[in-house]
Amino acid sequence: MFGKIIFPFLNEGATPADAAADAGGMNSLFSTVIMIVLFGALIYFMMYRPQKKQEKAVNEMRSSLKTGDEISTTGGILGKIIQIKDDFLIIETGADRTKLKITKWAVRAVEHREEEDEEEEDDDEE
């Protein structure tokens, strides 16, 4: 069957019934290819694209960290940033002010920004 599709010049002695069967085979092949392409597009829009969007947001959050921000790490540690060096942060945790050096990729979320405190103080003064 595929030989006739790939090499159409071999169809010299073909009857009209053979031509109709070949056309049905082509439609079946075409619909299969369309379904595979649609499935690939579905996978892209349902899985890959949202993951990239989330990854971009996390990288943006990590690059915007500032001294004074209160963060939580992937290990569940809560602390306040006291120093930022390249890919490392020094955070202060607990009442005894224990200092920990962590990597930026370990930051899960910013719990409270330093800027928000300043804005609240400005609102109180007015």
CATH of the domain at 75: 2.30.30
Instruction: List the beta bridge partners of residue 71.
Output: 79, 110
Q: Looking at the predicted structure, is the pLDDT value of residue 91 above 90?
A: yes
Do both 69 and 121 map to the same domain?
yes
Do both 80 and 121 map to the same domain?
yes
Number of domains in the chain: 2
Q: What is the pLDDT of residue 26?
A: 72
Do both 92 and 112 map to the same domain?
yes
Q: Residues of the chain with pLDDT > 90: what percent? A: 52
Do both 26 and 56 map to the same domain?
yes
- Annotate the chain with DSSP letters as a single string: -HHHHH-GGGGTT--HHHHHHHHHHHHHHHHHHHHHHHHHHHHIIIIIHHHHHHHHHHHHHHHT--TT-EEEETTS-EEEEEEEETTEEEEEETTTTEEEEEEGGGEEEEEE-HHHHHHHHHHHH-
Do both 34 and 85 map to the same domain?
no
Do both 6 and 53 map to the same domain?
yes
Residue 96: domain span: 65-125
Mark which of 39, 61, 83 sits at the end of a domain: 61
Do both 81 and 44 map to the same domain?
no
Work out the pLDDT band at 5, boundaries 50, 70, 90: low
Q: Looking at the predicted structure, is the pLDDT value of residue 121 above 90?
A: no
Q: For residue range 13-34, list pLDDT tens digits in order.
A: 555 555 555 555 678 888 899 9
